[in-house]
Structure 1
Amino acid sequence: MSDVLKKTPQQAQPSMPCVPQTRRGTERREALMAAADELFLQYGFDGVSLDSLVAHVGGSKASIYQYFGCKKGLLVALVQRRHECFFNEYALPTELGSRSLREVLLETSHMLFQAFSQPDKMAFMRLIVNESQRDPEIGRIAYELGPARGKYTMAKILIEADARGEIDCPRPYESAVFFSGFLQHIKWRLLIGLTPIEDHIDINSFFEFTVDHFIASHQHISPITQTK
């Protein structure tokens, strides 16, 4: 358990060049981020210049340099903002509480499905995937703030379920990666413009099938069963 907790990502965020100290500065920074979010999604990161950003929101490029350092710093700030909004908006389970592991896994699956189904979230993911080909640091930051954070949270839930005797889970992080695998099927279909799941599959049945098989794969195996 301690090894998993020690490796949990600690908000891998480079510090911003300058944090606004006034209300006007804060509003200015927010306006720049809103404009960048809109324009990056519409034209791509390379398709938006600092001049076009300033023309869209007003002011001068000095504010961009002051608050973000450069255009990349602005994209990193958007990555940070979107991931924090994601976790605040969907409030994914972080512990079992009084519920069973099955209930928590099903809730997590449905919440992530709802998130993946939002067009703007998929559009931003495509933006990050594309830009990461040129600048791997962008991808690393996005991964640590999103997927990695989610996997370590799930690993802690699996540790709790193991301690309660619901499952046998000696390698919680690897099991969390295993669990996230079937969700990637949905995400990748949406990422390339397909429907989230094949037409002949019911999404609720799909989640129940995968969760039940995941739990079944983590049951205690008796010595008699092992020798067969």
Structure 2
Amino acid sequence: MYQDSPLSSYIHDLSAPTKRGHERCIALIESATALFLKQGYDAVSLDDIVNHAGGSKTTIYKYFGNKEGLFVAICDYHRELFFKGVCVAFNPTCEELRNYLINTLINFYQHILDPDHTAFMRIVIEQSQRNPELAAYLYNKGTQLVQNTIANALIRAAEQGNIVCCEPLYSAMYYLGILRNWEWQVVMGLNPQLCEQEILKYIEYAVDLFLAAHQKV
């Protein structure tokens, strides 16, 4: 059911079916997101979304199938934005691995502190608990893609002889755990008590330890 969400292929082809149709889809996604964040997933109906965005429920049924399909498309849409601004592919010709790893974590941390991101994560967790199939889809298209992006960066660095990395996916999982403590504090409604300078110091310290573990003995 979730192999290809309605927006996954659609958002990459702005001419299909029409520019106006694409704009209507984006408007519905943005309106539904705003309502879900404000009122919660269960409290929002398709009528509420249509009244907020304009148009009719026919458009939702046509492009997303139902409310659940619209939610999946929202997750896909936010994943597209995430990869544009937070987690990008590593290009060894433009950036050193250390700077890439540090900058990625800084981007992650700023993303974590975004109140809308936190609210959205809570909705995703809630809906995933209700629907194992949805949970598997969101993990494969979200968390696993991020892990693979970092793993590929480590593979490229190892190929150039800059590090030794026998298990790049394991290393990527370890790397992404560097900020897990702060992420869960924010998701649970706690306020991390560190200033930006302390966070940067911690990130640099953790990345240096990470890279030290990937050097030849």
Bigger radius of gyration among the two:
1
Q: Could you tell me how far 1:12 is from its partner in structure 2?
A: 5.1
Q: Distance in 2 between the 1:147 and 1:90 partners?
A: 13
Is the CA contact 1:105–1:211 (under 8 Å) kept in the aligned structure 2? yes
- Unmatched 5+ residue regions in structure 1? 1-10, 222-228
Structure 2 CA distance for partners of 1:194 and 1:93, relative to 1, 3 Å: farther
Q: Could you tell me how far 1:217 is from its partner in structure 2?
A: 1.5
Structure showing greater relative contact order (alpha-carbon pairs closer than 8 Å, 6 or more residues apart): 1
Residue of structure 1 equivalent to 2:152: 156
Residue of structure 2 equivalent to 1:116: 112
Structure 2 CA distance for partners of 1:51 and 1:159, relative to 1, 3 Å: same
Q: Distance in 2 between the 1:24 and 1:172 partners?
A: 43
Q: Could you tell me how far 1:185 is from its partner in structure 2?
A: 1.7
Is 1:48 aligned to 2:15, yes or no?
no
Instruction: Detail structure 1 runs of 4+ shifted over 6 Å in the superposition.
Output: none
Is 1:33 aligned to 2:29, yes or no?
yes
Is the CA contact 1:132–1:139 (under 8 Å) kept in the aligned structure 2? yes
Residue of structure 1 equivalent to 2:141: 145
Q: Distance in 1 between the 2:44 and 2:206 partners?
A: 42
Q: Distance in 2 between the 1:23 and 1:168 partners?
A: 48
Is 1:68 aligned to 2:64, yes or no?
yes
TM-score (norm 2): 0.86
Is 1:184 aligned to 2:180, yes or no?
yes
Structure 2 CA distance for partners of 1:12 and 1:151, relative to 1, 3 Å: farther
**RMSD of Structure 2 on Structure 1 (CA):** 2.5
Q: Deviations over 1:127-159 (max 9, x none)?
A: 101111111233223222222111111111111
Residue of structure 2 equivalent to 1:6: none
The alignment of Structure 1 onto Structure 2 pairs a total of residues equal to 210
Residue of structure 1 equivalent to 2:97: 101
- Unmatched 5+ residue regions in structure 2? 11-15
Percentage identity across aligned positions? 38
Is the CA contact 1:168–1:220 (under 8 Å) kept in the aligned structure 2? yes
Q: Deviations over 1:28-66 (max 9, x none)?
A: 322221211111111111111122222323333222111
Q: Deviations over 1:148-194 (max 9, x none)?
A: 11111111111122222222211111011011111212211111122
Is the CA contact 2:5–2:76 (under 8 Å) kept in the aligned structure 1? no
